[in-house]
Structure 1
Amino acid sequence: MIKKVLTWLGIAFLIFFIAFNPNSAAAVFESLGDTIGDIARGFGTFFTNLVA
C-alpha cells in the first residue's frame, strides 16, 4: 500500500516539476542523458580495449 502511494506521489511531483519549471526539468533530464551516454561510452571503450 505505501509503495503505491509513494509511486503516485513521485509521479505527481514529476508532473508538477515539469509543468512549473520546464527549463529546470529539461536541464535535469539533459544531465541524466549525458550521464547515461558517458557510462555507455565508458563500457564501449572498456570492451574495445579488452578485445583489442
Structure 2
Amino acid sequence: MPIVLKKLLAWGLIAFLIYYVAFRPNGAAQLVKTIGAGLMAIAQGIGDFLTGLMG
C-alpha cells in the first residue's frame, strides 16, 4: 500500500475519532470500556494459561 494512502487513512481515522468523541462522548466512553474489558479478559486468559503451565 502506498505511503500516501496509509497517511490519508491514518488522518481519516484520527478525524473520525475526534468527531466521535466530540459528538458522541457516551458512546465513545462505552466503546473504550468494552475494549478495555476485552483486553483484560485476554490478559486474564494468558495469565491462567501460564499458571496452568507452571502448576
Between 1 and 2, higher relative CO (CA 8 Å, sep ≥ 6) is seen in 1
In the alignment, does 2:39 pair up with 1:29?
A: no
Q: Which runs of 5+ in 2 are unaligned?
A: none
Q: Per-residue deviation at 1:22?
A: 0.2
Deviation >6 Å, runs of 4+:
none
Matched residue count: 52
**Correspondent of 1:10 among 8, 13, 16:** 13
Q: Per-residue deviation at 1:20?
A: 0.2
Q: Distance in 1 between matches of 2:25 and 2:5?
A: 29
Name the counterpart of 2:47.
44
Cα-to-partner distance string for 1:8-52 (whole Å, 9 max, x where unaligned)? 000000000000000000000000000000000000000001100
TM-score, reference length from structure 2 = 0.92
